[in-house]
């Protein structure tokens, strides 16, 4: 007789955090569960929903602070792709060559960094990889969410992960349908 499959239920904090000071929002560096194993989403607001730009996890001794800070420094030190800022703000990620936009990083940091909303889901350490993989897998399946996502590796499907719309923020392609405005022809 097979043992029953254990469902991993994911609950993100309902309120987002920010990377930098934004009036009315808390910075992620103050999050009470930032020292715990978490899966986190970097998102921007798209209407009344959130469009995910990056999915990550942390569970090691260095913790979330170290992991998020190292990702932020990677971007701030010009190691990641540059993108068209106005397109990004409207939900389309268009990568542009660094050679064509020498001031692009400064503009991105000034305009995009305050737009990021970070959501945290505290999980048992052993579930972090499965949840990160499944969220990324689901977002990569749809062209509207895949084009905006920075995660580029291939991620395996894990049907035991449940991200219910109830109690979770409105993440496009995860807890709410993809709006027509993001659909590709």
Question: How much is the pLDDT for 4?
Answer: 61
Residue 82: its pLDDT value, please? 84
pTM higher than 0.95, yes or no?
Answer: no
What does the block give as tokens for 34? Answer: 């930032």
d(CA 55, CA 182): 19
Q: What pLDDT does 32 receive?
A: 85
2-11, 26-35, 52-61, 134-143: range with highest mean pLDDT? 134-143
- Mean pLDDT for 23-31 is 92
pLDDT over threshold 70, residue 155: yes
Give the residue with greater pLDDT, 141 vs 37: 141
pLDDT of residue 108: 85
Position 14 scores a pLDDT of 94
CA 97 to chain centre: 23
Instruction: Report how far Cα 18 is from the mean position of its chain's Cα atoms.
Output: 12
**What SS3 string covers 135-171?**
HHHHHHHCHHHHCCCCCCCCCCCCCCEECCCCCCCCE
pLDDT tens for 104-150 read 888 888 999 999 999 999 999 999 999 999 999 999 999 999 999 99
């Amino acid at each position: 007789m097979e043992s029953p499959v254990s469902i991993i239920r994911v609950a993100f904090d309902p309120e987002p955090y920010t990377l930098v000071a934004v009036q009315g929002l808390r910075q992620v560096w103050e999050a009470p569960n930032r020292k715990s194993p978490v899966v986190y989403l970097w998102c921007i607001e798209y209407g009344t929903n959130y469009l995910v730009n990056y999915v990550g996890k942390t569970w090691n001794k260095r913790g979330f602070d170290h992991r998020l800070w190292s990702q932020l420094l990677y971007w701030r030190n010009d190691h990641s792709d540059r993108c068209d800022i106005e397109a990004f703000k409207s939900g389309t990620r268009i990568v542009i060559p660094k050679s064509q936009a020498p001031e692009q990083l400064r503009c991105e940091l000034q305009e995009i960094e305050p737009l990021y909303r970070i959501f945290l889901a505290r999980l048992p350490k052993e579930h972090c990889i499965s949840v990160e993989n499944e969220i990324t897998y689901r977002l990569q399946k749809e062209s509207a969410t895949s084009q905006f996502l920075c995660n580029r590796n291939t991620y395996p499907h894990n049907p035991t992960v449940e991200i219910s719309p109830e109690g979770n923020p409105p993440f496009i392609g995860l807890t709410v349908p993809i709006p027509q405005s993001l659909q590709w022809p």
